[in-house]
Structure 1
Amino acid sequence: MSRYLTITIASLSSLLIASSAYGGAFAVREQSSWYQGLSFAGNATHSKSLSSMYWNPATMTGHEGWQGETSQTVVFPNATVSLDVATIDLIGIPIVDVPYSSGDIGVDAWVPASYSTWQANDRVTLGVSTNAPFGFETKPRIEWAGQTYARSSRVLTVNVTPMASVKLTEKFSVGAGVQVEYIQVRLKSAAGVPPIVPKAPTVELRGEDNNLGVGATLGALFRPWEGTQFGIGYRSPIEHNLKGRLVVGGDPPLPIRATIVMPETVTVSFQQELTEEWRGMGTFEWTHWSRFGTFPVFNLQGQMVADLPFQYNDGYFLSLGTEYDFHQRVTGRFGLAYEWSPIDEHNRTPRLPDSNRFWLSAGLSYFHNEWIEVDVGYSHLFPESSNININPAHPAYEGITIQGPVKNTHVDIVSVGGRLKF
């Protein structure tokens, strides 16, 4: 039983990652209906959309008066873990009497985002954004060969970032902001599998950061000549001190705590006017996932209960997109992207069947009048085939073997947003 508790606590690391298998590790990328249609190409440069301030606060410069924007995105994932081998100890006793397939672990998710800016004067613009930068849900069938690792997973975050931008010259602007973030984690697993535990009780782990995590965001925007933009944005690491409990069946809860640090992200974008109606743009993003090593978990007496082994690689994202003004009221856009996941066969778990993926996106904006605009965006993701290869030498699962393919068949993302200008 103690080994199962260690596995369950170690799964907290996988839970955080499974929260957003659609933005590279657990970073939810879907923060903008406008840029959804571009596969997020050019998202750190200035456009009619306020949402670029999420990646680069300097892009607020140029938004006149008061403006507000909302983005509502729904993600439709589909993924199945189909195990070939599943054993529970060094002797190699196979797991029996339960399906070796997880079924579809994807859970449809809603990702909201909102933005607001106010032009204080000709040079200074103030703004605030509200986002869910981390958060998703996976849910395999209750009884399956991997039930000691995953019965359900859920993460919820809320990030509020007040920020300001300053136009230093006609060609150069800078911006900065303070991130305030809340996180809540919920994990359910089983304390065993048949035939060792015929009716395995549920092991539930809950944790949240009651003190809120604090970080920074910085950015710069450069317009060397008319029609050309270069932008760079930085979102800092955020430390979360989680407190929660671990409950096995009807046993009394065990209070636990853990400190985790979300990785920093750097986004670099360009935008180029090709004609008066046609624009091209691109983005490269780096996320410092390799800072995720191993984090200890303690009880309230300060005794270490388990380690959270991550050992991830850095994550990378590259996209190219284009926009065309078909009419003064209608703009269409298209984008392609490729994402290198920080997860590979050496650190992939049943809670995180994440892999490299190709993006294909399209979108449309309708400018009803001078103060109402509507955006729609759609993306179809093509995940690459991948495998889970947990064996007795794996740092997280002593004496356990789980091996088999992951069928990440597809992900569909639909986003609708709009802006009001005063």
Structure 2
Amino acid sequence: MGRSLCKSSLILSSAILMLPILSKTVSAGGFALHEQSSYYQGLSFAGNATSGTSISSVFWNPATITSAKDGLTAELHNTFIIPRSYIDVSPSSTLAAYGDSGDIASDAWVGSTYLSYKVNDRIYVGLGVNSPFGLSTKPNFTWAGQVYNRSSKVFSINANPMIGYKINDVLSIALGAQIEYMSVRLKSASGVAVGAASSVLEGDDVGFGVTAGVTIKPMKGTEIGLGYRSGVSHTLSGSLYTPVAVGVLPPGTYNITSNLITPDMVTLSAKQSINDKLRLLGSVEWANWSRLKQPAVKLDPSGTQVTSLRFNYNDGYFASLGGEYDYNDHLTFRAGAAYEWSPIDTAIRSARLPDNNRIWLSGGATYNVNDKLSLDFGYSHIFGTDTKLRVVPGHQDFNGVSLIADVDSSVDILSASLRYTF
């Protein structure tokens, strides 16, 4: 009986670990993905660096693992992202006759997996498997901005083992490692003619980083959490295909490399119990997008620069407030709102990622089937603010073709998770 239960637990844990990896190969939406938790989706990620009934908070703060239940806990989160983003081209654009972009955004199914194990009253270990960065945009093949974007895709998988130490009932700390695979593929028209062949730049790499965190519970019902995810340095290795001459390079396929560092992220959260049933939560987040700069793309092995990945982003910020209410022992409701300050503004906004500040509204619930099994549900609607695209002389992407447009964007997000404690 004991061996059978152990074997069943191992099989279920392995299946839970693999499913999100398989699902994430379908698509990804957005360069940085907040969507790592069905539980916190319903709060617009308020309180995500403090501990709750879900261990998914370890993505933002590994120290929250010290509040996990006894034994082995496994969570499987699956999120369906339904974005829409249209670039409405002005008649003053150089290739305005080629038309608008159509819907450039791609639907995405994003999965995350979390495991925790309580070794003893002070030591906890865990693992998170996520896709922290992703981008998938694909406008019409022929459109007014074809020389700036025919398709863009960023895909990542990140494994995050961690260990937490509960110093006492007030203070906990934790450290973790990141092992991250990232791939990038960018396509654009090689010229202004209808049907012009596409240039393709692609590369991938495995990089490493760390996570760290602390939780403080100064009094009953109050918790403060501070979490850190480092950037991950990638040396993307791949190829550049160009059907036309680029500088001194004749048409052809060339081996290339480019050094890219993802932004590090700091999350500060607080949770306050109002009474036995009601809790208020809040979070603020800083993302160091400005460190991306403008990575050079160089020929391998000569090291000659042929182009660059022009980011030059600002830093990004995210602030959210939410609350949750225990209706009874089995059912909890939650809601939240957030404002996101994009690292992208009109001066650098590109046709690959025409992002802007966003407003989040969310709701969700948890249903506890029994002491071992719980289900989380979350929904968010994201409103894009007024967004202008102005690729004109002086813009970092300008190559002689002006692209003047308005961008209309919104996102719907549906998320569900299963949590089981063995």
The equivalent residue for 1:174 is 173
The equivalent residue for 1:258 is 258
Instruction: Give yes or no for contact 1:85–1:401 (8 Å, CA) kept in 2.
Output: no
2:380 maps to 1:379: yes
Cα separation, 2, equivalents of 1:168 and 1:85:
64
Given the alignment, which residue of 33, 40, 45 partners 2:50?
A: 45
TM alignment of 1:104-253, pairs within 5 A: 104-193=103-192, 197-209=193-205, 212-249=206-243, 252-253=252-253
Superposition CA RMSD, Å: 1.5
Instruction: Give yes or no for contact 2:90–2:96 (8 Å, CA) kept in 1.
Output: no
- Structure-1-length-normalised TM-score: 0.89
Identity of matched residues, %: 43
Instruction: Give yes or no for contact 1:31–1:131 (8 Å, CA) kept in 2.
Output: yes
CA shift, 1:214, in A, is: 0.4
Instruction: Give yes or no for contact 1:308–1:396 (8 Å, CA) kept in 2.
Output: no
The equivalent residue for 1:13 is none
**Which structure carries more relative contact order (alpha carbon 8 Å, separation 6+)?**
1
Instruction: Give yes or no for contact 1:86–1:145 (8 Å, CA) kept in 2.
Output: no
The equivalent residue for 1:6 is none
CA shift, 1:102, in A, is: 0.1
2:279 maps to 1:274: no
Q: 1:376 to 1:392 in 2, by over 3 A?
A: same
Q: 1:56 to 1:276 in 2, by over 3 A?
A: same
Range moving further from structure 2, 111-120 or 180-189: 180-189
Equivalent position amino acid for 1:206 in 2: E
2:88 maps to 1:82: yes
Partner of 1:309, secondary structure, is: coil
Report Cα offsets for 1:297-317 as digits up to 9, x if no partner.
Answer: 100111011232222111010
Partner of 2:374, secondary structure, is: strand
Report Cα offsets for 1:238-296 as digits up to 9, x if no partner.
Answer: 10000111223595311111001111100000001101011000000001112222221
* Unmatched segments (≥5 aa) in structure 1: 1-17, 88-93
CA shift, 1:136, in A, is: 2.8
Equivalent position amino acid for 1:53 in 2: V
Equivalent position amino acid for 1:274 in 2: I
Instruction: Give yes or no for contact 1:55–1:235 (8 Å, CA) kept in 2.
Output: yes
TM alignment of 1:315-394, pairs within 5 A: 315-394=316-395
2:406 maps to 1:400: no
The equivalent residue for 1:415 is 415
Cα separation, 2, equivalents of 1:192 and 1:279:
57
CA shift, 1:407, in A, is: 1.1
Partner of 1:263, secondary structure, is: coil
Instruction: Give yes or no for contact 1:162–1:178 (8 Å, CA) kept in 2.
Output: yes
Instruction: Give yes or no for contact 1:109–1:136 (8 Å, CA) kept in 2.
Output: no
Equivalent position amino acid for 2:82 in 1: F
Cα separation, 2, equivalents of 1:393 and 1:372:
57
CA shift, 1:97, in A, is: 4.5
Partner of 2:314, secondary structure, is: coil
Equivalent position amino acid for 1:124 in 2: I
Report Cα offsets for 1:363-416 as digits up to 9, x if no partner.
Answer: 0110000111000100000110110111121233243321111111x2000001
Partner of 1:269, secondary structure, is: strand
CA shift, 1:155, in A, is: 1.4
The equivalent residue for 2:40 is 35
Partner of 1:148, secondary structure, is: coil
Q: 1:86 to 1:20 in 2, by over 3 A?
A: farther
The equivalent residue for 1:73 is 79
Q: 1:282 to 1:364 in 2, by over 3 A?
A: same
Partner of 2:128, secondary structure, is: strand
The equivalent residue for 1:313 is 314
Equivalent position amino acid for 1:62 in 2: S
Partner of 1:399, secondary structure, is: coil
Cα separation, 1, equivalents of 2:342 and 2:196:
33
Partner of 1:243, secondary structure, is: strand
Instruction: Give yes or no for contact 2:28–2:107 (8 Å, CA) kept in 1.
Output: no
TM alignment of 1:12-31, pairs within 5 A: 20-21=29-30, 26-31=31-36
Equivalent position amino acid for 1:208 in 2: D
